[in-house]
Amino acid sequence: MAGDGSVKLIDEKTGKRTDGRKFNELRPTKIEVGVLNNADGSALIYMGNNKILAAVYGPRELHPKHLALPDRALVQCYYRMSTFSVAERKSPAPSRREREISKVISDALNSVILTKDFPRTTIDIYIQVLQADGGTRCASLTAACTALADAGIPMRGIISGVAAGLVNDTVVLDLHDIEDQKGSGDIPIGYSATLDEISLLQLDGVFTIEQFEEAVKLAIEGAKQIYEIQKEALREKYAQIRAEFAGEPEEEEAEEEDTMEIVSQSLAESEASVDETAIDEAVASEETEEKKTGEKTTIEIEEVSEVEEVSEVEEVSEVEEVSEVETDEHQDLVSDIAEELNEELDEDEKELEKELNSLGTEKPEENDDTTTTNTTESEDDETEHEEINDLEE
């Protein structure tokens, strides 16, 4: 709640605020991306003494299902302040302010998320304030949008949140806790630098038209600075992922300059040794080539010898087959000749028998002559039989 502005929060001589900042300076801001392993996307923001953690889950199935929207995703935001986040212990039950901020952040993010790409689903955003120091809704909006980008959810642009306020009739940027409580008013703004549009605008306190316009311009300039911090945080996260996949750790990249100098010196010293090693390598390569050629020739000789042995074996087998065929033909010829001779002998024997029968009726003298002739013929027959047996053998 804005105060009456009676407390002096700006030094009139130096024009600086209680924390030493000028009217247009942001508090020291740092963002870390991907701090939670179990969330689809996460971010941790340090904005002054604020420490706020945001986690994104989804798009995922919605329970109960009757709450699902048929044409787009349902964006649900849960803003909570830890009981130890403020000086006096806070009740763990969600307050009306927490429910209001949850609704405000959800509406601001709905304006940039492409919810029509994920019908009948939900995108849940959990924001936990670990330590509060004023301006928590703007810092929470910044962390939530960075976590959405880390989760890979498509958006039209990234929202950056910051507040401008009126302190001792002076418009200042990024109010901290005391300025928020004792100042005359504040204007939280959610601005998308890529779209050049305001997604969140609230006002608490009394402003003139000139003060209002000045505060909005100052808040937009501060949001552009925060946008650069968001981009740098996302770059660092995904540069680290690329380095892990490429197998190049960050330490090697940081030490490249030193190693290049050392390598240049070592190269200058080792030029002479390189020539000698090159010669040795050439000789060794020639020896290896000779060995390889020798091995190849021995292998070829072995192959040729094997082929010759196979051819010799084939020729021997062919000769044996031819000799077997010739012996078979010779035996057939001998058997044919023997059969013909046997037939001729049988015919001769038959004729001799006939002649003997005819001679049986003649004189004895004539018989003697015939017997002599018969003996000579029988001797001739025996010699023929012996010749035939020799041929058969």
Let me know whether 285 and 249 are in one domain.
no
Distant-in-sequence, close-in-space partners of 28: CB < 8 Å, separation ≥ 6: 46, 47, 48
Please determine, for residue 321, whether its predicted confidence score (pLDDT) is greater than 70.
no
More confident residue, 63 or 321: 63
Number of compact structural domains in the chain:
2
Mean pLDDT of the chain: 81
Mean pLDDT of 177-188: 92
Q: Do both 242 and 116 map to the same domain? A: yes
231 to 119, 156, 287: CA distances (angstroms):
28, 15, 60
Is 197 a member of any domain?
A: no
* Amino acid letter, residue 276: E
Residue 316 pLDDT:
47
Give the total residue count for the chain: 393
Please give the span between the terminal C-alpha atoms of the chain, in angstroms, as a whole number.
Answer: 143
Task: Let me know if residue 1 belongs to a domain.
Answer: no
pLDDT (mean) for 32-47: 96
**Same domain for 46 and 102:** yes
Position with higher pLDDT, 352 vs 138: 138
User: 23-27, 280-284, 323-327: which has the highest mean pLDDT?
Assistant: 23-27
Mean pLDDT of 137-153: 97
Q: Is the domain of 242 the same as that of 310?
A: no
The answer to whether 189 and 163 are in contact (CB under 8 A) is yes
Tell me the CB-side half-sphere exposure of residue 207, using CA atoms within 13 A.
24
pLDDT band at 328 (very low <50, low <70, confident <90, very high): low
pLDDT of residue 278: 56
368 and 320, same structural domain? Answer: yes
Residue 119 within a domain: yes
Which pLDDT value is given to residue 192?
Answer: 96
The answer to whether residues 165 and 215 touch, using CB atoms and an 8 Å cutoff, is yes
Cross-strand pairs, 122: 60, 74
Pair (248, 333) in one structural domain? no
Summarize pLDDT for 189-217 with one digit per residue, the tens.
999 999 999 999 999 999 999 999 999 99
Average pLDDT over residues 245-255: 63
CB count within 10 Å of CB 336 equals 10
Residue 310 counted as domain residue: yes
Average pLDDT over residues 344-348: 75
Predicted pLDDT at 337: 73
At 123, is the pLDDT very low, low, confident or very high (cuts 50, 70, 90)?
very high
Q: Of 168, 158, 181, 163, nearest to 5 (Cα)?
A: 168
Which CATH number does the domain housing residue 246 bear? 3.30.230.70
Average pLDDT, integer, range 30-38: 95
Give domain status of residue 48, yes or no: yes
pLDDT at 354: 76
Whether residue 100 sits in one domain with residue 149: yes
Q: What is the pLDDT of residue 154?
A: 96
Same domain, 44 and 147: yes
Is it the case that residue 380 has pLDDT exceeding 60? no
Range(s) of the domain holding residue 102: 29-163+224-253
pLDDT over 60 (residue 362): no
In the structure, what pLDDT confidence band is assigned to residue 107 with cuts at 50, 70 and 90? very high
